[in-house]
């Protein structure tokens, strides 16, 4: 009877929550919040939840999305408040909105790219800028990903739609440069750690301390305006 889109965040220590662990936690939260979920048919019915493009384990995010199907109508703000109360702090429900059942493309179609912030405490600004310039000037930069089926080669450069070094913005200390990236969602999607691997490949850049990675937004990239439009 009703379909809702949920935007949630993974913050603090909860960024280490795996996608599977979040699925279980969210299904329990739906039961505690008394959300009238629609279920699949068959011998093992499951709640109708569509998870799209989860952030890698270890990365924080302000823009995770999923959709749920309900058997009775509910107020989106009430659902947001109930789910947020049922989840642990750090898995935070940011918004819930009703989705038209017809006439609109799928959520996956609208999530074509992600904006990322990679914080690099202790790195020299000139080193970061030089590495980013080298990456963007390259035609392609191959990186390796170890999968269950063996090693897979990905072109990290082809996935980067936009990149810039951030210094002295948002009260950021001068000795903590960061990298803002827009990465296109491909198959498979290149991860932020693979972009760091590409910087190592082209400029021998190695962060002096573990980087902090946060997904800031998802949506459709507008190259003319250098802007990422969130899903509708």
Concatenated DSSP letters for 105-169?
--HHHH--EEEEEEE-TT--HHHHHHHHHHHHHSS--EEEEEETTEEEEEEHHHHEEEEEEE-S-
The fold of the 2-107 domain, in CATH, is Alpha-Beta Plaits (3.30.70)
Q: What is the pLDDT of residue 169?
A: 72
192-211: pLDDT as tens digits: 999 999 999 999 999 999 99
| Banded pLDDT at 9 (limits 50, 70, 90) | very high
Sign, CA dihedral 3-26-8-107, equals negative
Q: Please write the tens of the pLDDT for every residue from 56-85.
A: 999 999 999 999 999 999 999 999 999 999
| CA–CA distance, 184 with 193 (Å, rounded to integer) | 15
CA 8 to chain centre: 10
- Tens of pLDDT, residue by residue over 89-139, are 999 999 999 998 766 678 999 999 999 999 999 999 999 999 999 999 999
* Rg (the chain; Cα; Å): 19
Predicted pLDDT at 104: 64
Q: What is the spatial distance between Cα 47 and Cα 64, in angstroms, rounded to a whole number?
A: 19
Q: If you count DSSP H runs as helices and E runs as strands, how many of each does the chain have, helices first?
A: 6, 11
Q: Where are the domains of the chain?
A: 2-107, 111-229
Confirm whether 2-107 and 111-229 share one CATH topology: yes
pLDDT of 53 reads 87
- Whether residue 14 is predicted with pLDDT greater than 80 in this model: the reply is yes
Longest dimension (CA), the chain: 59
Q: Right CATH number for 111-229 from 3.30.70, 3.30.1150, 1.20.1510, 3.30.300?
A: 3.30.70
Query: How confident is the model over 130-178, as pLDDT tens digits?
Result: 999 999 999 999 999 988 888 999 999 999 999 999 987 766 676 789 9
């Amino acid at each position: 009877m009703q379909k809702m889109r949920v935007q949630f965040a993974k913050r603090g220590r909860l960024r280490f929550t795996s996608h599977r662990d979040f699925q279980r936690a969210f299904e329990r939260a739906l039961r505690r919040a008394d959300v009238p979920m629609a279920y699949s048919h068959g011998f093992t019915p499951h709640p109708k939840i569509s998870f799209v493009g989860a952030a890698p384990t270890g990365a924080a995010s302000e823009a995770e999305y999923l959709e749920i199907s309900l058997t009775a109508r509910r107020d989106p703000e009430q659902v947001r408040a109930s789910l947020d109360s049922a989840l642990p702090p750090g898995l935070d429900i940011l918004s819930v909105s009703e989705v038209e059942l017809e006439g609109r493309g799928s959520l996956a179609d609208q999530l074509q790219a992600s904006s990322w912030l990679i914080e690099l405490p202790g790195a020299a600004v000139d080193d970061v800028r030089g590495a980013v310039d080298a990456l963007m000037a390259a035609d392609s930069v191959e990186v390796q990903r170890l999968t269950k089926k063996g090693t897979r080669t990905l072109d990290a450069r082809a996935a980067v739609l936009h990149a810039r070094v951030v210094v002295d913005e948002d009260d950021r200390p001068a000795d903590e440069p960061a990298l803002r990236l827009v990465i296109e969602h491909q198959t498979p999607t290149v991860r932020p750690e693979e972009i760091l691997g590409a910087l190592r490949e082209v400029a021998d850049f190695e962060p002096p301390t573990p980087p902090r990675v946060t997904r800031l937004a998802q949506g459709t990239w507008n190259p003319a305006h250098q802007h990422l439009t969130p899903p509708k």
